Structure 1
Amino acid sequence: MNGSSREALAAARERLDALTDSTSVDAATLAGELAAVTALLDREVSLRRVLTDPAQTGEAKADLAGRLLGGQVGGETADLVSGMVRSRWSQSRDLVDALEELAITAELTGAQKSGALDDVEDEVFRFGRIVTSSTELRAALTDRAATASAKTELLRSLLGGRANPVTERLVVRLVTQPRGRSLEAGLESLSRLAAARRDRVVAVVTSAVPLSDRQKQRLGDALAKLYGRRMHLNLDVDPEVLGGISVRVGDELINGTVADRLDGASRRMAG
């Protein structure tokens, strides 16, 4: 997002935090309503353009949003959306992206309050690994010919009773409303936002065998010192790495696996 959209999103995040700090606001309900508004504005291009038109006054846009949403969503959601359309957005799509982020954040805040945020983080990561390892499952979840209800039913058969309800809702929304993203990109975004709730960075750690608690603690401390922020370790076991570990933080890869060193030696010998 460019400057004005970034400022608008920052203000919206503050308003959301103020709402979810209140014990009278149900975070899951707020998230569901924000997700519904996201889906509406994602479909209705002309409407979101009107709501982000810089030629219209903020009050006029807020009044329109209030009339559209009145009776359809709760007062907290309507007020939050009205405040967002009063702001200036660089592109109309930025408003929809921001609404989607707030819906996810509201879900994660609810999980954090109930002490389930760690579980949600881990379940999103594990689900991503399952999707990566199963071409059939990925094809079923990304099939454009399949209905949203069919995909929802499939996900609930996989996650229902096995994952936290927040995880299930987030994954169902991601799969049924991809908004042009790949499934992998959407899951990665969920992981980043979950980590941000604790001001942590996500490190994907791949090793040949499971790490001990002591090894995980030492690795987490070392990475936190290196990056200057707390780290959340998503752990993956892959026997093909042979030994050592690889760590991916965002786009940066720290590779210390035996397989990588052998591959490097082979390339040097071939050269």
Structure 2
Amino acid sequence: MNKPIQIDQYEKNSFTAPVRGGHQVTHDVYSRGSGKLLVLIQELPGIGQETLALADRFVARGYKVFLPHLFGAIGTTNMPANFVRVMCMQKEFNLFASGRSSPVVDWLKALCQKVKEEHGAKGVATIGMCLTGNFAIALMADEAVLASFASQPAVPLVLQRRLQLSEEEIAVIKERLDRLGPMHCGRFAGDILCRNSKMKALDRTFNTDDKKRIILHTLPGMGHSILTLDFVDEAGHPTARALAEVMDYFDESLAE
């Protein structure tokens, strides 16, 4: 693919919404394209060239992509610096806690609702990656969200056998997935940040009662970022196949 469209070619808006604890949170949201609606949530390295390239692929597919800018620089990646930033944003992010989603999920739910209502759409799709991978699962509790892909969900960090979801959230998500059909989640087999124990936790939590509510994908290799930093745009490559499957799933879920 050619050099991705840069962020200055996107429409920029500011969005404010409350999160639990009574805090008001404001972030910029960048958007580009037209058609079906996708909220693409950045991963820890930032909104770098690889994330912009992913947005380009969806725009070319007939999507309007919304990129919330939650932390870090745009156009480049810097995982160590962004980790420090997120650690200082404890009103929004809980990297190590389990049993509840991060407060910023409330802001993202409000954003998804706003996007859906403003465009008069059936609903939106979401992608979360790395530390925001769990957000894509939590957002399935919201009626505005019709499809989600959780790519290498890494939080809670350290406690890979546990989930960053409350029992109430899990119950609502299971009910919605029973109505909508399964969502998708993926990781590389050798990923040390999103381990197999995370997939097992998701499987035993959601795929109960003989129902497959989350389709779990394990790609070969030692990578981490399925759709961005470790994505290989070659026909037949496991990451390219994973993206194609996600796009087909979104297309079907958002069809009017």
> Could you state the TM-score of these two structures normalised by the residue count of structure 2?
0.30
Q: Larger Rg: 1 or 2?
A: 1
Higher strand share: 2
